[in-house]
Structure 1
Amino acid sequence: MTTPGYIPGACNIGRAEVRLRWLVGWAGLVGAVALWGYFVWAGSPRPLRLWVGGPALMAALGFLQARRNFCVNYGLGGVAGFDAKAGRTERVEEEEARALDRRTSWRIIANSALIAATAAVIAYLAP
């Protein structure tokens, strides 16, 4: 791959893609806070508050991908996206680079899941 800016395991998306991930992160955060607020306002049973983990996962995935300039879906799929328009990708040809991208993708997914689980437990325990 000859795409400028691509660094195996470290950077596989450009500005347009990063901007999209920031939007996803903010949408997930707003959704998590709104859902938690609704559950508290409605007096919902505490176990129901664990659903806050869903939008919290979306927020964590969005923010971590944006911060790292790395898309987990692209990393798992062996592509990179540096076009001026989001969604246009180019295949990563080198197997070593694809392996590094997969490893980074799984780390971001694991960190996001941990953040989401923490948010869900906090929502459960909060008064």
Structure 2
Amino acid sequence: MEYQPGVCNIGPAQQRRRLLLGVGSLLLAVVTVAAIVAVEWPRWTLILSLFPLYGAAMGYFQYRERFCVGFAGIGVFDVDGETRQVRDEAALAADRRRAVRLNLKSLAVGALGASVVYGASLVLV
């Protein structure tokens, strides 16, 4: 695997870490919703599931797209087990543009998920 600015900045080992982040965040979202329902907090607090759902989406998208938002932010890549600095300004700019798009996509999925959770609570609870 090879580093491709704005396309791929992590290899298989880093991808697995991002997938675990996504799965852990999804489990946290389930626990958050269950806890809010169990302790009978106000229904609007279900919107707090946005945060772990955003994390779940971010982990999944980083895994699937072989691209780490955090690495783009600090200007590094790791496609073969060795973290290296991105030296080219154009490559760094491409990575950061991609990071913004992934962040926005993850936020949209998290917001949609939180809206679904809230909407389901209106029907089911």
Using the size of structure 2 for normalisation, the TM-score is 0.90
1:123 aligns with 2:117: yes
1:92 aligns with 2:86: yes
Which structure: greater helix fraction?
Answer: 2
Residue 42 of structure 1 corresponds to 39
RMSD: 1.3
1:55 aligns with 2:49: no
Residue 72 of structure 1 corresponds to 69
Give the Cα–Cα distance (whole angstroms) in 2 for the partners of residues 125 and 49 of structure 1.
10
Q: Tell me how far 1:56 sits from its aligned partner.
A: 0.6
1:17 aligns with 2:14: yes
The one-letter code of the counterpart of 1:38 is A
List per-residue Cα deviations over 1:25-81 (Å, max 9, x = no partner).
000111111211222233321111111111111111110000000000111221101
List per-residue Cα deviations over 1:59-112 (Å, max 9, x = no partner).
11110000000000111221101243xxx5201111111111000000000011
